[in-house]
């Protein structure tokens, strides 16, 4: 059924019927009569550094809205989906993940709106993102999804509006759980990145207007901005934390403390590295997707359900597009905990210093990924014997993301390296399964098949990778 929907689509009536059936599969929420018209919600299709809800919910509650308001004295809460709310969505989402139907617009629409219908909200604003790091890669695809969501949402009796926002660069300057909370607190202090405040006030202004609490969306945005500036949003956030079980002293330190006190509450990374400009130049942009992929490999995200997230892992972007940098100036900062998860003993010859390790230094082998943008690569420690023939031994407990030397500067492959790495230099022996003559063969061993030849690395993932240099074991066999 899911693949049929993916291939043939659904019209608005069919999507509406699916949304209603999914909403009725579990418990539906009920609200006091006095809250009629004031219960609102916001949904984002997802992005990098998207911490809008943390600041938006208390700001709306300070203005009189009830945002998922299960707490009368607070007016807002930030919660996850329970097993009782729309259980059909959990089942279908799990199936979509394994049937390659995640990007189906009717299924996305039904998944989002079935939960909103079960919440019995009065108004909904949707932040539909488009770009290289978004669910919708183009403006046209985002507009199609937004149209479907608004049309079906209105048919469900929810006043629905959508905003299209770009997601090619991270939202704000911080990515990673703890850092994003700190940046949202700055927003509720009346400070923080301009683009974050603009999106919070835009979405909040629309909801206040939809609820009749503002004459225009612009007026609603101004009212919400005042709640951010006068401290009422931050006070509401503190009350929300206490109502949801956070100790009062902790909530107070987080909301009224200094930046250092806030960091102590949220926890800090064991290692902080700053990336500096290798030469004079200008910043063309900060690509959100490879940054997110790098942080995910370092522990900031999860690749499967139930996997633990390390909230202290993150990155701070210290530059913006168009900014000029001189050699040695800082452009970014990464925070992480050194961790290794491999079960093999690895002997890795290190032919040259790692680009992130500083002059004359190399690293052991905790290299998460190589990306074509200025993102820090963690270097656990400089190798004391760094030289062209230096070698390190690492008893690692993980699959190490190792950029293959023949794959180009923007490529990385994930594979076990149980023996010396094939790119460690011509004097290094490694075992390759070479199914055909290597392009570096001498004439006496037979002419090679050309520059596009590949060899199979002896690894569990068996990834074919180009080998552009003569392999020391490339014999006629």
From the number of C-beta atoms within 10 Å of its C-beta (0-12, 13-18, 19+), residue 220 rates as buried
Q: Are 126 and 46 in contact (CB under 8 A)?
A: no
How far does CA 254 lie from the centroid of its chain? 24
Tell whether the torsion through CA atoms of 53, 55, 59 and 61 is positive or negative: positive
Among 115, 223, 262, 399, the active-site one is 115
E runs forming strands in 22-148: 39-44, 66-67, 123-130
**Could you give the CA distance from residue 152 to residue 160 in angstroms, rounded to a whole number?**
9
User: Catalytic residue at 404?
Assistant: no
How far does CA 304 lie from the centroid of its chain? 14
Among 41, 50, 89, 310, the active-site one is 89
Among 6, 51, 66, 96, the active-site one is 96
User: Catalytic residue at 111?
Assistant: yes
Among 6, 43, 262, 399, the active-site one is 43
Q: Are 394 and 323 in contact (CB under 8 A)?
A: no
Other Cβ atoms closer than 10 A to 201: 26
User: Catalytic residue at 68?
Assistant: no
Which residues make Cβ contacts (< 8 Å) with residue 80, sequence separation at least 6? none
User: Catalytic residue at 280?
Assistant: no
Q: Whose CA is closest to 135, among 227, 44, 243, 5?
A: 44
Among 19, 111, 165, 356, the active-site one is 111
User: Catalytic residue at 96?
Assistant: yes
| Residues noted as catalytic | 43, 89, 96, 111, 115
């Amino acid at each position: 059924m899911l693949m049929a929907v993916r291939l043939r689509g659904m019209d608005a009536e069919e999507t509406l019927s699916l949304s209603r059936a999914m909403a009725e599969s579990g418990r539906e929420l009920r609200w006091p009569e006095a809250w009629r018209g004031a219960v609102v919600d916001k949904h984002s299709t997802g992005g990098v550094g998207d911490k809008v809800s943390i600041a938006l919910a208390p700001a709306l509650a300070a203005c009189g809205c009830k945002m998922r308001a299960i707490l009368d004295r607070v007016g807002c809460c930030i919660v996850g989906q329970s097993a009782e709310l729309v259980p059909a969505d959990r089942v279908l989402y799990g199936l979509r993940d394994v049937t390659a139907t995640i990007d189906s617009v009717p299924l996305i629409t039904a998944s989002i709106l079935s939960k909103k219908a079960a919440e019995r909200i009065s108004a909904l604003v949707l932040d539909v993102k488009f770009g290289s790091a978004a669910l919708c890669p183009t403006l046209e695809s985002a507009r199609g999804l937004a149209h479907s969501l608004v049309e079906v949402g209105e048919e469900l009796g929810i006043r629905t509006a959508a905003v299209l926002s770009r997601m090619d660069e991270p939202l704000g300057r911080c990515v990673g759980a703890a850092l994003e909370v700190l940046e949202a607190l700055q927003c509720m202090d009346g400070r923080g990145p301009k683009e974050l405040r603009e999106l919070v006030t835009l979405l909040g202004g629309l909801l206040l207007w939809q609820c009749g609490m503002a004459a225009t969306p612009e007026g609603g945005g101004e009212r919400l901005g005042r709640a951010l500036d006068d401290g009422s949003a931050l006070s509401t956030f503190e009350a929300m934390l206490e109502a949801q079980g956070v100790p009062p002293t902790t909530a107070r330190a987080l909301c009224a403390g200094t930046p250092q006190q806030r960091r102590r509450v949220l926890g800090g990374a064991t290692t902080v590295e700053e990336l500096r400009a290798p030469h004079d130049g200008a910043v063309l942009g900060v690509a959100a997707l490879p940054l997110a992929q790098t942080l995910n490999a370092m522990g900031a995200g999860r690749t499967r359900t139930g996997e633990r997230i390390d909230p202290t892992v993150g990155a701070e972007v210290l530059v913006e597009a168009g900014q000029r940098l001189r050699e040695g100036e800082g452009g970014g900062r990464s925070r992480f905990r050194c961790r290794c998860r491999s079960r093999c003993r690895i002997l890795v010859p290190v032919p040259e210093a790692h680009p992130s390790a500083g002059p004359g230094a190399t690293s052991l082998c905790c290299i998460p990924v190589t990306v074509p943008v200025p993102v820090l690569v963690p270097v656990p420690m400089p190798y004391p014997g760094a030289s062209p023939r230096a070698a390190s031994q690492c008893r690692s407990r993980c699959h190490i993301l190792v950029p293959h030397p023949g794959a180009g500067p923007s490529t990385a492959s994930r594979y076990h390296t149980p023996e010396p790495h094939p790119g460690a230099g011509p004097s290094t022996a490694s075992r390759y399964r070479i199914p055909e003559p290597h392009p570096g063969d001498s004439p006496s061993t037979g002419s090679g098949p050309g520059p596009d030849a590949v060899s199979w690395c002896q690894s569990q993932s068996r990834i074919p990778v180009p080998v552009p240099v003569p392999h020391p074991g490339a014999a006629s066999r």
